[in-house]
Amino acid sequence: MDRKDFQQLFTDFVLEHKENIYRLAYSYVRHQQNALDIVQDAIQKAWLKQNTLANPESIKSWFYRIVVNTSLDFLRREKKIQWVSDEEIGMTATRTYDLARELDLERALEALPQPLSEIIVLRFFEDLKLEEIAAILDLPLSTVKSRLYKGLKVLRNLMDEGVKNG
């Protein structure tokens, strides 16, 4: 693919999926500005590494992998917990669904080990197929399936404990 074709394909992809890309970064760092920085860094990295996209049909998994790796790099550099700000809670409170239930789910997801939570986020919040998740995380499909099953089981237990204690 020549440079001009890539530029058009990539620009269209980012514009069409910008909310999903942001949510993916946010699911790792839990901070609005850091997620925006990660998205910007990932776009820059993808732009510079455009020659590594072998198949235009795989742009989603290719770019999501860059976002995931950029997020993990950020977390390794920061090595600290990101708390949800009052402003973000206020923005969430304007939604029409049960805020308490969402916060319980968010806390339970944060309590999961990262290898389990990232697969749940990619599968259910980003609506990716298991094959796409395997490609993004560079894992065998069987590993993705087992982590998803284990993560859902642990998540269910955490949520049940929250209901009993709350």
Domains of the chain (ranges plus CATH)? 1-83 (1.10.1740.10), 97-166 (1.10.10.10)
Instruction: Please give the C-alpha separations between residue 165 and each of 83, 118, 137, in angstroms, as whole numbers.
Output: 22, 26, 35
The closest alpha carbon to 19, from 126, 135, 106, belongs to: 126
Please give the distance of CA 61 from its chain centroid, rounded to a whole number. Answer: 12
Q: What pLDDT score does 97 carry?
A: 46
137, 65 in Cβ contact below 8 A? yes
Query: 164 pLDDT band (50/70/90 cuts)?
Result: low
Per cent of the chain over pLDDT 70 is 81
Of 11-25, 45-59, 70-84, 104-118, least confident by mean pLDDT is 70-84
**pLDDT value of residue 103:** 58
Which is more confidently placed, 28 or 94? Answer: 28
For 130-159, what is each residue's pLDDT tens digit?
998 998 889 999 999 999 999 999 988 888
CA 18 to chain centre: 12
pLDDT at 91: 55
pLDDT at 96: 44
The reported pTM is 0.68
Alpha-carbon span 42 to 37, nearest angstrom: 8
Q: pLDDT tens digits for 39-57?
A: 999 999 999 999 888 888 9
What pLDDT score does 162 carry?
A: 66
pLDDT digits (tens, 9 = 90+) for 108-126: 778 888 889 889 888 888 8
Q: What is the mean pLDDT of residues 52-78?
A: 90
Task: Give the pLDDT confidence score for residue 43 in this predicted structure.
Answer: 95
The whole-number average pLDDT for the span 83-94 is 53
Average per-residue pLDDT in the chain?
Answer: 83
